[in-house]
Amino acid sequence: MRGSVFSAIREYLQDVYRRFQSIWGSLITAVPYLWGVGEQRKEVTEQYPDPVSSRTADDLPARSRGLLVNDIDRCTGCKECEKICPVQCIRVDTEAGADQSKLWVARFDIDYSKCVFCGLCVEVCHPQSLVHSKKFEGSVYELKDLVASFGRGFVTAEQRAKWAAMRQQAENDEVFP
Amino acid sequence: MLETLRTDLTSWEIGPYHGALPGPMRMKLRIDGEIIISTDLETGFLHRGLEKAFELHPWPATVAYADHLDPEAAFFGELALCLAVEEISGLDCPPRAQAIRVLLSELSRISAHLGYIVKVGRAVGAETLIHYVLRDREKILDLFELLSGARYSLNFLRFGGVAADVTEGFIERVLEVAELLRARLKEYNDLFTFNHSFLLRTAGVGVITRELALQSGLTGPNARAAGLAFDARKAHPYIGFDKLDFEVPVGRGEAGRLGDAHDRFLVRLRELSQSLEILKDVAETVPEGEFSRMRIDRDFEVPNGESYARVESSRGLLGCHVVSDGGRFPARVQFRVPTSANLTLLPEIVRGLAIEDLPVVIASLDLCLAEADR
Amino acid sequence: MSALPPENSWIAFLANSSDLAAALPTWLLAALGLVFIYGAIILPSGAIMSYLDRKLSADFQARVGPNRAGPAGMLQPLADLLKLLQKEASSAEWNWREALWLGVHTMALYSTVAVIPLSSSALLVNTDMSAFLPLWAALVLALGTMLLGFSQGSVPGWFGGVRVAAQALAGAFPALIAVICAGIHAGEFRWSTLAGAQTASPLTWTALCDPFQFIAFVVFVLGGLVMLAVPPMDAALSTQDIHGGVSSHLFGRRLSLFRLGRFYGFFLWSVIAVVIFLGAWTLPFGLAELLREQGRLWLVLALEVGWLLAKTFVLMLLVISFARVSPRGRVDQVTDFSWKVLSPFALLALIGTALWSGWGYLP
C-alpha cells in the first residue's frame, strides 16, 4: 500500500493529528504552572529592589565579590594590589609616615568604571585590609563618582617635615637608647 | 539547484546590531524574494585585542583575561590557559582541585547549553520555554556564586589548582541541582523538543553535512550532530576525563536530515544529560586534600617554552597555545576558538533558505562573537 | 426563539429610550452609538484582555507579571498607553504615506464597529448577509496593513506587508467556508438568525450540535488567527527576522494605534466566533424573557453584552494559552497550514453539515 492514495491520506491525517497532539502535550506540561502546583512550579521572580522577594546584600554567599572596601588602618601600602590588577583600576600613592614601620597611604583609589571584580587584589593582600563587601548597588550619576577613595589624603609640607623629625627622633632613640 | 522565486535580486544588510544575531556582526544578504542567494559576513566588531592584552600582564592576571574570551562559558578559557601554563611549568594539579575543575567544567557546559536552549527558543518564539530554562540556569549561576563569588567571570582557576576550596554545602547543592535538572529536562522535552511546530522550524533546516564539517574544521556539538564523533574529552583527555565513564552523543537525524538544526538541539540536550551524570559521579567522590599547589604570586615566572592545551568547551574544541620566554609576562597567548569554523560555514548552509530560517540557523549554531573576534 | 425583527435594532432602542433621543436625527444617534460602543466596550475590553494576557502568560512562565501599577497591576494597560503616547517619533519628518495608510488601515478596521453584534438589541447592520461583513473588513484591513508596510520603504516593512497579505488570503478561504457551515445550520446569515438558532444550553450551540459544526468552529478560529496574524500564527509580524514587520518603523502614538487595531481584529473575530458558534448572547434560565416582560430592557442589554464578552474572553484566553506554548510558525508553514489543513477540513465540514442539515429533505 506504500505510495498509494490511502497511505498518503493516512500520513496526512497522522500529521494533522500530531500537530494537535503536540499542542495538547505542551499545554498539559504548562498548565500546572497556572496554579503553581508543587514546590517546583512556584513563581521565581525576584521583585528587585523590593526586599519582599528579592535578595538583599545579606543573602549573598560569603564569597560574593561586591564593591571593594579597604580598611585603611590595616593597609600597609605595599601596592601588591595595584601591581596585580589586570585592568589597572587601583591607584596607590604612599609616603613615609610618622611611624618608621608603616607607610602613610595618601591615596587609595579604586576606579569601578574599570574594575572587573576578578578578586585578584583581595587574594594578594597580605594584611587582608582589602576585602570584597557584599554591596553591589554602585550606580551613580557622574562617571567620576565611580572612583572610591580610601586614602588618608595628601600631607602638607610642614606635616611632612614634622614626621621626618619624628622618624629621626625614633631612629636616634633606637641607636642611642 | 536552488529553488528561486525568479524575482529581482535584492540586497539586505543585517547588523551590526540585530535581534537575530548572536553579537555585533554584519550580514550582507542577496535575497531573491525571501530566499537567500548569498551571504557575506563581516565580523570583527567585537575585537578587543584580547590576545595582545595577555602579553601586557603578569601571568597571574592573565586568568582574568581568559575569562573574557567567551563570556557565556567563561570557565573554559581559564581552563585552557591554566592547562597550557601548567604543562610548561611542570606544575601538577592536586586531585581535589582536579575534581573541582571537572565539576566546574560540567556546570559551565550545562549553563552554556541551557543558554543555547534559550537562544533557539527565542529564535522560534517559544516564550514559555525560555522562562523555564532561564529559571533553571539561575540555579547554576547561584552555584558559581557560592563557589567563586562571581556568576559569569569566575576567575577561579589558578596555575596549579583552584583559588579556594569548595564552600560548605557546595557538593550537596551540586547534587541537588543535578537531580532537579534531570526532572526539568523531561519537562523541556514534553513542552518543546518534539513539538510539531518546532520540528517544522528546525527539521531539515541548516543542514551541515559530514564533509562540510570536516572541510571547515568544525568541532563540538555542531560537528557531532553532523556525525563526527570527536570530543576532546575523549580524544585528548584532561583533568581526569579519561577516568570517567561517559558517552559522547552523536546526531542521528531523527527528525529530518543528519546534521540539521534539530539534530544540533538534540545533541546538546543529550550532552546536558551526560554532563549531569558526570556531575553526579564526580561530586560523590571528591577526594580529600589540598586545593592548590601554590599561593598566588605576582612574580610567578613560567620557564622558557611553549605548549598547547585542548579543552572541549561548550561550543567545541578550544585550544590554547602559550609561548613563554621565561619572564613574568607571556610572550604569546593564542586561542583556537570553535566559533570561527561555524562562521566560515554559515554562508554555505543558509544558502537557499528563507530569511525566516536565518535566526533559527544562527541560534542553532551557537555562535559567540566575543570568542571569534577576541 | 424567533428571529428579531430589524426594527428591533439598537437605533430604534435608543430612539425610544428618551424624548431627547427621539428628537435627534437617526445618523447622529447611530454615530453616537458607535462611539459609545468603541469607548465603552472595545477600549475597556482591550485593557482587560491585555492585563489578563500578561497575567496568564506570567502564570504559565513561573513569573509574577504586572503587579505595580494599581491593585495587582490592574492599571498597567493604562500606564503602557500613557508611556506610548509620550514617546517621540523615530524621525522628525512627518511620513505622509505612512500616516495615510495607517489611517486607511484603521478606518477599515473600525468600520466593522457598525457590524459587530453585541446583543439582541445592539445590532445596527442586521442584513441577510451581515455575517460576511467582518470577513470583508479583515481583508481590507490586510490590504491597508500591506500598503502600510510598503510605504515604509524598508525591507522588514516590505516583507511584513507581503506576508500579511499572504496570510489574510490563506486564512480567508477556510474561515469563509466555516461561516457558510454555520449559515446552513441556522438557515440565514443574519446575526439574529445565527444567534437565534442556539439556546442557552451548550448542547444546542452550533459548535456542539454536530461533529461537522465543531470542525467548522475550530477551522473558523484557526483561520481567523492566520488571517489576522495573531500569535502563534504571527509570522507576518515576527520579531526575530524582520523586527515585527509592518510595525518595525512605527513609534509612539502610531504604534499604540496599530497595536490596538491588532487587538481589535482578534477581539472582533472572537466575538463573531462566539455569536455564530458558541451560543451568542442568549442568557441562561430564560432570564432575557423574564426581564423583558418586566420591562427592564437596559438590564437585558447589559447582561447580554456581559455574557457575550465573558464567553469571548474565555475563548481569547484559550487561544492565548495555546499561543504561549507553541513556537511561531514560518510564514509558508502558516499559509500551508491554512490551505492544506484548514481548507480541506472546512470543505469536509461543509459537505457534512449540508448532509446533516438536509437529511430530512432528501427523498
| List of chains touching B (3+ CB pairs within 8 A) | A, C
Give B38 to chain C, closest Cα distance, Å.
17
- Considering the domain architecture, whether residues A24 and A78 belong to the same structural domain is answered as no
The shortest CB-CB distance from C326 to any of A23, A44, A45 is to A23
Considering chain A, what is the average pLDDT of its residues? Answer: 83
Cis peptide before C232 (omega within 30 of 0): yes
Of B125, B350, B370, B338, the C-alpha closest to B221 is: B338
C-alpha cell at C38: 468603541
Angle CA C230–C236–C239, to nearest 5: 90
Interhelix angle B357-365/B339-350, nearest 10 degrees:
160
Interchain CB distance below 8 Å, A61 and B145: yes
B·C CB contacts under 8 A: 75
Q: Tell me the pairing of strands B35-42 and B157-158.
A: unpaired
Interchain CB distance below 8 Å, A42 and C341: no
Nearest Cα residue in chain A from B134: A44
Say how far apart CA C360 and CA B177 lie, in whole Å: 66
The shortest CB-CB distance from B196 to any of A19, A80, A83 is to A19
Say how far apart CA C233 and CA C164 lie, in whole Å: 11
Percent above pLDDT 70 for chain B:
98
SS3 category, A94? strand
Of B228, B224, B216, B236, the C-alpha closest to B340 is: B216
Specify the number of domains making up chain B.
1
Give C340 to chain A, closest Cα distance, Å.
9
Q: Kindly state the helix (H) or strand (E) to which residue B37 belongs, with its residue range.
A: strand B35-42
| Chain A residues lying within 8 Å of B153, measured CB to CB | 116-118
- Considering the domain architecture, whether residues A78 and A145 belong to the same structural domain is answered as yes
Could you tell me if residue A135 is left (phi over 0), alpha (psi between -120 and 50 degrees) or otherwise beta?
A: beta
In this predicted structure, the answer to whether residue B70 has a pLDDT above a threshold of 70 is yes
Nearest Cα residue in chain C from A50: C68
Q: What is the 3-state secondary structure (H, E, C) of A9-73?
A: HHHHHHHHHHHHHHHHHHHHHHHHHHHCCCHHHCCCCCCCCCCCCCCCHHHCCCCCCCCEEECCC
Interchain CB distance below 8 Å, C321 and A47: no
Interchain CB distance below 8 Å, C322 and A23: yes
Interchain CB distance below 8 Å, B65 and A86: yes
Percent above pLDDT 90 for chain B:
10
Interchain CB distance below 8 Å, C328 and B125: yes
Kindly report the length of chain A. Answer: 177
**How many CB atoms within 10 Å of residue A55?**
12
Give B126 to chain C, closest Cα distance, Å.
5
In this predicted structure, the answer to whether residue B53 has a pLDDT above a threshold of 50 is yes
- Considering the domain architecture, whether residues A29 and A94 belong to the same structural domain is answered as no
| Chain A residues lying within 8 Å of B197, measured CB to CB | 19, 22
| Chain C residues lying within 8 Å of A33, measured CB to CB | 59-62
Nearest Cα residue in chain A from B56: A86
| Chain C residues lying within 8 Å of B357, measured CB to CB | 330
- pLDDT for the residue B110: 92
Q: Hey, which residues 86-125 in chain B have their CB within 8 Å of chain C?
A: 121-125
Residue span of the structural domain in which C188 resides: 94-361
Residue A22 lies in a domain: yes
Interhelix angle C297-325/A5-30, nearest 10 degrees:
100
- According to DSSP, residue C361 is labeled G
Interchain CB distance below 8 Å, C241 and B125: no
Specify the number of domains making up chain A.
2
Say how far apart CA B335 and CA B66 lie, in whole Å: 10
In this predicted structure, the answer to whether residue A1 has a pLDDT above a threshold of 60 is no
| List of chains touching C (3+ CB pairs within 8 A) | A, B
Percent above pLDDT 90 for chain C:
2
- Considering the domain architecture, whether residues A18 and A83 belong to the same structural domain is answered as no
Look up cell 493516512; give the residue: A10
pLDDT digits (tens, 9 = 90+) for A140-171: 898 888 888 888 888 788 888 888 888 888 87
Nearest Cα residue in chain C from A15: C341
Residue B26 lies in a domain: no
Say how far apart CA B69 and CA B73 lie, in whole Å: 9
pLDDT digits (tens, 9 = 90+) for B168-189: 888 888 998 998 898 888 888 8
Q: Where are the beta strands (DSSP E) in B274-316?
A: 305-312
Say how far apart CA B324 and CA C245 lie, in whole Å: 54
Considering chain C, what is the average pLDDT of its residues? Answer: 81
In this predicted structure, the answer to whether residue B1 has a pLDDT above a threshold of 50 is no
- Sorting pLDDT into bands at 50, 70 and 90, what band is A2? low
- pLDDT for the residue C42: 82
Chain A residues with CB within 8 Å of chain B CB: 18-19, 21-23, 25-26, 28-30, 40, 44, 60-65, 80, 83-87, 116-120, 123-124, 132
Answer whether C165 touches B (CB < 8 Å). Answer: no
In this predicted structure, the answer to whether residue C316 has a pLDDT above a threshold of 80 is yes
- According to DSSP, residue C336 is labeled H
C-alpha cell at B316: 567545541
Residue B115 lies in a domain: yes
- pLDDT for the residue C4: 39
Interchain CB distance below 8 Å, A120 and B183: no
Mean pLDDT of C74-78: 86
In this predicted structure, the answer to whether residue B3 has a pLDDT above a threshold of 60 is no
Residue B85 lies in a domain: yes
> What are the residues facing A68 on neighbouring strands?
A132
Cis peptide before B16 (omega within 30 of 0): yes
What helix, strand, coil percent values describe chain A, rounded to 5? Answer: 40, 15, 45
Mutation choice for C interface testing from B13, B124, B360 by most C CBs within 10 A:
B124
Residue span of the structural domain in which B284 resides: 50-338+359-373
Say how far apart CA A118 and CA B66 lie, in whole Å: 11
Mutation choice for A interface testing from B191, B300, B328 by most A CBs within 10 A:
B191
- pLDDT for the residue C10: 63
In this predicted structure, the answer to whether residue C268 has a pLDDT above a threshold of 60 is yes
- Considering the domain architecture, whether residues A126 and A163 belong to the same structural domain is answered as yes
Interchain CB distance below 8 Å, B124 and C328: yes
pLDDT digits (tens, 9 = 90+) for C154-172: 788 888 888 888 899 899 9
- Sorting pLDDT into bands at 50, 70 and 90, what band is C363? low
Give A141 to chain B, closest Cα distance, Å.
25
- According to DSSP, residue C119 is labeled S
| Chain B residues lying within 8 Å of C231, measured CB to CB | 125
- According to DSSP, residue B134 is labeled H
| Chain B residues lying within 8 Å of C329, measured CB to CB | 197, 200-201
- Sorting pLDDT into bands at 50, 70 and 90, what band is C6? very low
Tell me, rounded to whole angstroms, the distance of Cα B49 from its chain centroid.
Answer: 21
- Sorting pLDDT into bands at 50, 70 and 90, what band is C5? very low
Is the distance from CB of B67 to CB of B153 less than 8 angstroms? yes
Interchain CB distance below 8 Å, A16 and C341: yes
Residue A54 lies in a domain: no
Interchain CB distance below 8 Å, C67 and A16: no
Mean pLDDT of B136-165: 87
Residue B10 lies in a domain: no
In this predicted structure, the answer to whether residue B337 has a pLDDT above a threshold of 80 is yes
| Chain C residues lying within 8 Å of B190, measured CB to CB | none
Say how far apart CA C292 and CA C308 lie, in whole Å: 18
Considering chain B, what is the average pLDDT of its residues? Answer: 86
Is the distance from CB of B112 to CB of B268 less than 8 angstroms? no
pLDDT digits (tens, 9 = 90+) for B236-292: 888 888 888 888 888 887 877 888 888 899 999 999 999 998 988 888 888 887 777
What CATH number should be reported for the domain holding residue A154? 3.30.70.3270
Say how far apart CA A128 and CA A124 lie, in whole Å: 8
Say how far apart CA C279 and CA C260 lie, in whole Å: 27
- Considering the domain architecture, whether residues A30 and A111 belong to the same structural domain is answered as no
| Chain C residues lying within 8 Å of B356, measured CB to CB | 235, 238, 240-241, 330-331
- Considering the domain architecture, whether residues A33 and A73 belong to the same structural domain is answered as no
Q: Tell me the pairing of strands B161-162 and B305-312.
A: unpaired
- pLDDT for the residue B111: 92
Q: By mean pLDDT, which of A68-82, B322-336, C187-201, C337-351 is the weakest?
A: C187-201
| Chain C residues lying within 8 Å of A25, measured CB to CB | none
| Chain B residues lying within 8 Å of A30, measured CB to CB | 128, 191
Residue B36 lies in a domain: no
- pLDDT for the residue B113: 92
**What's phi and psi for B331, nearest 5 deg?**
-85, -35
**Cα Dmax for chain B:** 70
| Chain B residues lying within 8 Å of A23, measured CB to CB | 195-196
CA torsion sign, C247 to C252 to C254 to C255?
positive
* Dihedral Cα B250, B253, B254, B255, nearest 10 deg: 140
| Chain A residues lying within 8 Å of B145, measured CB to CB | 60-61, 63-64
Residue span of the structural domain in which A164 resides: 61-175
- pLDDT for the residue C9: 59
- Considering the domain architecture, whether residues A92 and A9 belong to the same structural domain is answered as no
- pLDDT for the residue A16: 86
Q: By mean pLDDT, which of A25-29, B320-324, C252-256 is the weakest?
A: C252-256
In this predicted structure, the answer to whether residue C1 has a pLDDT above a threshold of 50 is no
Nearest Cα residue in chain A from C55: A34
Is the distance from CB of C140 to CB of C195 less than 8 angstroms? no
Q: What is the CA radius of gyration of chain A?
A: 32
Is the distance from CB of C84 to CB of C50 less than 8 angstroms? no
Is the distance from CB of B306 to CB of B118 less than 8 angstroms? no
The shortest CB-CB distance from B58 to any of A18, A65, A84 is to A84
Could you tell me if residue B32 is left (phi over 0), alpha (psi between -120 and 50 degrees) or otherwise beta?
A: beta
Interchain CB distance below 8 Å, C67 and A47: yes
Q: Tell me the pairing of strands B26-32 and B35-42.
A: antiparallel
In this predicted structure, the answer to whether residue C149 has a pLDDT above a threshold of 70 is yes
Bigger pLDDT: B223 or A42?
B223
What helix, strand, coil percent values describe chain B, rounded to 5? Answer: 50, 15, 35
What CATH number should be reported for the domain holding residue B118? 1.10.645.10
Residues 6 or more apart whose Cβ sits within 8 Å of residue C147 = C101, C104, C105, C161
| Chain B residues lying within 8 Å of A26, measured CB to CB | 190-192, 195
Mean pLDDT of B351-364: 88
Mutation choice for A interface testing from B75, B180, B196 by most A CBs within 10 A:
B196
Q: Produce one character per residue of A111-140: b if its CB has 16 or more CB atoms within 10 Å, e if not.
A: bbeebbbbbbbbbbbeeebbebebeeeeee
Burial of A174 (0-12, 13-18, 19+ CB in 10 A): exposed
